[in-house]
Amino acid sequence: MRAPPKLIIFDLDDTLIDTSRVFFDARESFVRFMIRRGFREDRVRRYFDHAEERNLKRFGYISERNLITMRETYEALTEAGGETFSHKDLQTIASIGSECLYVLPKPLPYARRLLSWCSSRFELALLTRGSEALQNAKIENLGMRDCFELIEVVERKTPEAFRKAIDALGHSPEQCISVGDSMRFDVLCAIEVGIPAIHVTYPHSDIQWNHDKATGVKGKAIYRAATLPDVRAVLESLIT
């Protein structure tokens, strides 16, 4: 029987706060703008998705990436259509893309209650990827910074990032558990270090980034949670 966890390592984006909604809303605003400019919706979406995938590899999870993708999409489709760039268009695109820089995601339902409950029973760490300034602004907006013994903002979430976090707090992998929405980053990276994980479903899977969706991986070290209250239920089962 597995020993109860002592340390919970939480993800932030799309686990505790609804970050994909901000990116989705900005993308949809851009698509509507491009349609008004006379471009076909299917071409805009197809090029945007290809550019976004390419820029993820180039820039990682910086929020400026979305603006870069919008501008590249506009420039490519404008050039392909034989049109000239418009300074006014670029200003509009910059305004749309800036939403990803300045609009702070809202907490997901039950996020604050879950952190309050967990902090009275476990040590908590937060491991999140992205730019440090923006991620810290999101954490402040969540209003639960004091719940965490450790907050690490990393460029990329890797097994080594998990290993460093637990080493910093003096725990072994079997004393920890990871909680996050990304099978690739929050579950598989943790398991590679020997940390079991709770895969919590992002509630709006139709707008979630494809590379963060579940891969169907199974194993004894993976627990499933459809909602954040279900995360609490899983944790309760591990300490009783």
Buried b (16+ CB within 10 A) or exposed e, 92-113: bbeebbebbbeeebebbebbbe
Asked whether the beta carbons of 212 and 182 are under 8 A apart, the reply is yes
Mean residue pLDDT of the chain comes to 91
The predicted-structure confidence for 145-188, as pLDDT tens digits, reads as follows 999 999 999 988 999 999 999 999 999 999 999 999 999 899 99
- Percent of the chain whose pLDDT exceeds 90: 72
Look up the pTM and report it.
Answer: 0.88
- Sign of the torsion formed by the C-alpha atoms of 65, 106, 132 and 14: negative
Helix H or strand E segment including 55: helix 41-59
Q: Comparing 113 with 203, which gets the higher pLDDT?
A: 113
The predicted-structure confidence for 1-28, as pLDDT tens digits, reads as follows 467 899 999 999 999 999 999 999 999 9
**SS3 call for 123:** strand
